[in-house]
Structure 1
Amino acid sequence: MSLVNPSDSLERQNEKLLRIAEALMRNVEHGAHNSGEAYAQFERAALLEKRVRERTLELERTLNLLHDSNAQLAQANEETEAARRNLADAIETVSEGFALFDGDSTLVMCNTRFCRDFRDTARDLRPGLPFAEYVERISRSRYLSLPESVTPEAWAEDRMRKHNDRRVMFNVRHGQDRWLQVSEHRTANGGTVVLQTDVTDIIRLERQERLKLKDKQTRMIRATLDHLDQGVCIFDENTRLIAWNEKIGTLLNLPARRLHLGASFSGLLELVEQAFRFGDTAARERFRDWAERDGLRGPINFELTRDAAMVLQVFGRGMPDGGFLFSCTDVTAEREAARRLAEVNEMLEQRVMERTLELEDALSAAERANASKSRFVAAASHDLLQPLSAAKLFISSLADRSTDPHDRAVLDKTESALTSAEQLIDALLDISKLESDGLRFDIRPVALREIFGRLRDEMEVLAARKGLKLRIIDSALTVETDPAYLRRVVQNLVANAIRYTASGRVVVGVRRRGATARVEVWDTGPGIAEEDQSAIFEEFRRLDTRASTNDGLGLGLAIVERACARLGHPLGLWSEPARGSCFMVSLPVVGGAAPARPVSNGPARPIGLAQAGLIVLLVENDPQLRRAMTVLMESWGVSVLEAENADTALDLLQDLEITPDALLLDYQLGAGLTGTQLFGEITQRMGRLPCAIVSADRSPALAEACAALDIELLSKPVDRHRLGRFFDAVARGLLAAE
C-alpha cells in the first residue's frame, strides 16, 4: 500500500510526506526501545521523498515539452496562414487568370481574374467546386462564343477530353471578338493549374500582319511575274484572266488592249491561233478542253511555232481553287541547237561506226593472232618435247652405262639443263592454256591428302638437297577444284619456297574457315618487301637477280596467279623481309574426305632387275625418240619391238606371231589414228595387255580417256623413273599370273 494518495496534487503529496517524516523523527528521538523500527520507517520516508522528487522533475520536463510543442504549433499555424495569404496575394498579382485544382479535380483556390470575362459564372467559383461542374457552367455561359456547328454539350465534352492530357493549350472566343488562351499544366501531386491569358491584341495584330502579308505577297507575285523570262497567264475558275506579265504579250504577239483583267480565255486563244500553229492538229482542242474542264486539272504541255522561225514551249497546270495558269518559253535557240546537235551526233555515230568496224577488224585480227599463238605454242611445245624426250633418254642411257665420275657429272648437268628446258616449255604451255578462252576445267571433289601425298614424294628430295626441312601436314578435307591445276599450283608454291629458302624449313598445311579450306605454304626465306609483292606474279620476274636459270624461270607464280583467277580460288600473300613468306589459296569445301589413293613411294628398281626379259611393243613416229627409248629399255634388259606407225605395228605382230608383255604407244601416230585407238585394235586381236600412252598432250581430255581405259599416261619428255615403275608393275603382274 502507498502512504500517499496518487490522485492528490504534488503539493498535497509533499505536505503529507513532510508530516510523516516529522512524526518519524519524533518517534526516533523519544522511542529508544523502538529505535530499529523507527529507523526503517525513516529509510522508507527518505526513499519516498526521492521518488517524489524524481517524478516531480519528470512531470516538469513533460510540461516544458508540451509548452514548447504548443508554441511551435502556434508558430506553424501562423506561418501557414502567412504563406496562404502570401500565395493568395501572389496569384492575385498575376496578370492572368489563375486556378488551382487538386488531385481529385476539385478547385483549391483562384484569383479574381480567373473567368472574369464570364461574369455569369465567376460568382460560382469557390473552393471545392469540381472541375467537371466548372466546365459545364462555362459551356452554358452566354459570354462564350462558339462556332455555329458546335453545341455547348459538344464543347464541354471536348474540353473534358483535353483535360485528360498533361499539357493543354487552346483559344476560346468570348464577348465581342475577344480571345482567351487557356493552358493547363499538371503539378507533381497530380493537381492541375489552369491559366487564362487575354490574347485579343495578339490575334488582332496577327490579322493585320496577315493582311499586310497578303498585300506584300501580291506585290511580290507581280514583281516575280514581271521578272520571269517566261510569259505567264493566270485564269480563275471561270476562265477569266486575273494576272499576267508583259512577256506573255511579247511572246504571243498579243496587243496590250486585249490583255486586261477579266479577259476570256477563248478570246485570247483565237488571237494566238491567228499568229501561231499548234504542234499537232489535236493539240488545240486538247488545250481548249483542258482549260474549260471543271475541277482540278493535271499538267499539259505542247509547242507553238510561227513561220518556222520561232518555237514556243507551252506548259499549263491547274490550281487548287479551280483556276489554272500556263507559261510560254521561247525555245527557238534550244531547238536549233538540238537540230545541230542531232546532225553532229549523226556524224559522230557514223565515225563511231567506222571506228567500231575498224576495232572489230583489229580485235578479230588480235583474236586470230592469239589463237594462232596458242596453236603455235602447243605445236611448238609438242615438237620441242619430242627431241627433248629423246635427248633425256639418251642421257639416261649413258648415265646408266658410265662409270667415270667426271662423265657422270657432265651427264647430270646436261640432264639438269634439259630438265630446265622441259620446265620452261611446260610453263609456257600452261600459260598459253590459261590465257585461252576455250580452256575447260575438270571441277570435281578432290581429297587434299591425295594431292599432298604426291607432292611429299616429289618435294622431299628437293628440300633434302638444300638441307631444308619440309613438312606437309595431311588434311582430311575434300575440296571442289580441278585436281591437275590444284596440284600444279601447290607444286609451284612449294618449289618456289624451297628455291628461295636458304635455311630453315617449309611447311604446308590447311586451315578450315567455315565452308572454305585455305591451303598455306610457309617458308623461312628472305621475305618479300611490300612494294615487290605485286611484281613477283609477273612473267620472267625474279627478285633474286643472282639466281641462275636452274633456280627458276620466273613463271611459276605467274602460272599460279592465272590458274587461281580462272578457277575462282582467292590467292593471298603475307610476307615480311628477313622473316619469311606465306602463300595462301582458298578452296570451297565439299562433303567429307575422299579415300586416299595408294601412292608410290619413290622410283622402282631402275636397271635390269624385274624388267629383264620383258617384251615391249614400242610404236613411236619420231625416229630419234624411238631410238632413244629403245636404247634405254634395252639397257634394262627389255626386248623392244619397234614400229613407226599403227599399220607397221599390227603387221609386225602378225608376222612374228608373238604377244608382247606390254605396249608403249605414242598418242599421235599420224594418218588420223591415235594410240588409244591402236590399243583398242590390239586388244580385240590379242586380248588386254598392259599399256602406256606416251604424249606431249597435257589436256584433261586425254587424261580422262586414259583413266577410262585404265592405262598409264606418260608425258613427254618421258621420265625414266616413271617408265621404270611401269615396267616393274608389268613384271610383278606377270609373276603373279604364273
Structure 2
Amino acid sequence: MRRVEQGTDLSGAAYAQFERAAMLEEQVRARTRELEAALDLLNQSNARLAAANRETEAARRNLADAIETVQEGFGLFGPDDVLVMCNSRFGLQLSDIQPALVPGLSFARYVELVSGSGQLSLPEGVSAQDWAVLRLRRHRDRSTNFTVALRGDRWLQVSEHRTGDGGTVILQTDVTDIIRAEREARGRLLDDQARIVRATLDHISQGVCIFDAEARMIGWNERAAELLAVNRTRFRPGLAFDDLAGRLSPGSLRFEGLRAWVAGPTPRQPLRFEVTREGGVVLDAFAQEMPDGGFVISFTDVTAERRAIAGLSRANETLEARVAARTLELGEALAHAERANATRSRFVAAASHDLLQPLSAAKLFLASMEDEDLNPRALDALGKTRSALQSVETILDALLDISRLESGRLSVRPQPVPLGPLLARLAEEFAPVAADRGLSLRLRPTGAVVVSDPTWLRRILQNLIGNAIRYTDRGGVLVGVRHTAAGIRAEVTDTGPGIPEADREAIFREFHRLNARASASEGMGLGLAIVERASALLGHAVTLDSRLGRGSRFVLHLGPPAEAPAAAPPAPPVPRPDLPRDLIGLLVAADSDMRRALTHLLDGWGVNILDVPDPAEALALIEEIGLPPDFVLIDARAGDEEAGLALMQDLSRRHGPLPARLLTATRAEPLRLRALRAGVPLLYKPLDTGLLQRFVASAARRD
C-alpha cells in the first residue's frame, strides 16, 4: 500500500502486486482452512516432544544416581571437552581442588587445577607446566591408563577412554595399598635375585662387566674375560674403568667414546658400539646406566652374524629388482581399488545432493497441481508420475541408508519403544499393498516394549514386512511378537516360495535380489542389507528360518522387555488461523528449477514470494523495499549451508528474528545442530509439502 501511495515505482510493479493479492484473497482463505489438520498434527508432535524431554531428564537423573554408586572417581566430559557430570569421589584424593570440579569445567582447566594441586607429587625435574603438557598429550589418545604419585606415599590410577560421540570418561582409582604391597614383595625378592644374578652371569653367553657410580668394577663373569682376551686375574673388585679400557685397546677411538660416555653427566643415554679384535672377531658392546648411577657393559660375539649379514646383503641385491616389480604391480592394483571406491563415494554424494535437487523440484510442481481442475486422464498421469517419483525417492533413501551405515558415523538414540503402535502403523501402511497383490496381512496385537532407536527399528520392520509382501504370490504375511526366555522377538512370516540354504547369506548383501523377482521400481536389493547393518548397530540380531515351497520367517531379536513410557495427554484441538492477505515470503535458491517450483507452489497457497538466486541479492532486495519478509526459505546446495546461515544472521541483526527454514539434502548431525543454534531448522529434500505448509502457517500466526 505504501508503494501505491508513494507512486514511485515507474514499472507499476507495486500496484500490480497489490491488485494480485486482492484477487487471490478468496484462494488464501480456502488454503487456510486446509491447514487446520496440519496444525493439529503439529500440536500433537509438540506434546510428544515434551514427553520425550521429560524422559530425557529422568534418564539423566538415573545416570547421575548410577555413577554415584561407582566406587572409583568418575567424570564425564562431553565432545566439547567440558565436564558434563561427576560423582562425589571424583578428585577425592586432591582435596584442595575438588570443590572446583563441577559441571561446566573445561578439560584444559581441569588439567591446570590438577597440575597445580598441592597433593600432587611431581617427578624430579618436572614442573607443573611440564606435567600439564604431558597430561594433555595423553588426552589425544582414544584410551590411556597411567598412575599418578601423590604426597604421603599415595598413588592414584587414572583411566581415560573416549566415548562413541567423542566425549571422554575418566576413572580414578586409589591404588596405594596395591603399590605398597608390591613394594614389600619386591624387597623380599631382591635377596633371592642377587643370588640368581650371580649364577645367571656365569651361565650366559654374553660377557658382562658391572661398575658402580664411581666407575669401579663390582661384578663380572668369566665370559667377559674370554671375549676381551684379558687374563682373568686382572678382573678384580674395585678395578677402575679407565685401567680396564687402557688394557683392552690403547688408542681405540671406540673406547675413547666410551670413556667420554662414562665421564659424562647423568642420566646417560644407552650407548651401543662395536669392537673388532685381532683375528676378525667382532664384538657388539652395549653400555647402559643403572638407577644408582652405575652402569653395565655387555659384550656379544657377533662375528657369525656379521658374516651372515654380508652374505644376505649380496643376496638382497638380486632380490631388489623382483621386489620393485612386484611393488609396482601391487601399487597399480591398489590404485584401481581406490578409484573404484572413489567412484562409489561420488555416486552416493550425487544421490544425496544432485539427484535430490531435481526430485524436490518435481515433487513441488506435482504438489502445486493437486488442486487444479484436471481431467481423469491427466489425474491418472499425475498419480503415476507421483508413484514413479516415490519409487526413486525410496531407492535414494536406501542408498543413503547404506552409505550412512557403512561410514560408521551414524548415531542412534535408544529409548523405550512400544511395539504395538509401531506395528499397527506399519500394518496400516502395507494393507493396501497386500490387498493389491491379493494377499492377507495379519497383525497380532502386542503390548511389548523394548529399548531401541524408534526410527531405525521402524525402518528394519518396514523392510522385513515389505520384503515378505513383495516376494509372496499367494497366501499372506503374519506379523507378531513373542516373549521368550532370551527376550522379546518380532517375527515376520510369509507363505512365499522359501529361500534355498545356499542363498540365505547372500540375500543380506547389497543389490542382491533372490531370482531377480522384484522390479527395479520396487527396490534394488538393499532392504535386507539395511536390516542386517542397522540391527547390528542397535545390538539386535536377525535370524532366518525358511522352507522351500512353504515360506520364510525372519526373526528380529530385540532383547529384554522395557518399561512403557508415560503416555502423553491428547492435545486439545487448536483453531486454524487465517493467513493475512499480505503475507510475504523470501525465497533464496540458486537452482532455477527449485526456485520456480517453490514459487509456483507458494503462489498457489496465496503467499507473495520474493525469489532471488543468492544471499547478496536477497539483502539488497530487502533493503530496497524497506520491509522485512514474514518468513525466509533458503535452498542450500551441498557445502553452501554456511552461506545460508550467515544470511539469516545478517537479516536478524537488521530486522530482528525471522521465521526461517534451511532446505538441504545433507543429513549430517553437526549441520542440524549448527542450524538449530542459528535459529534456522532444517527441511530435508525431497521436501515434504505438509511440513512446509505447517511452517508457513506458523509464520502467519507470528504476525
TM bucket (normalised to shorter chain) is 0.3 to 0.5
- Rg larger for: 1
What is the TM-score of this pair, normalised by structure 2?
0.47
Q: Which has the higher contact order (CA 8 A, sep 6+)?
A: 2
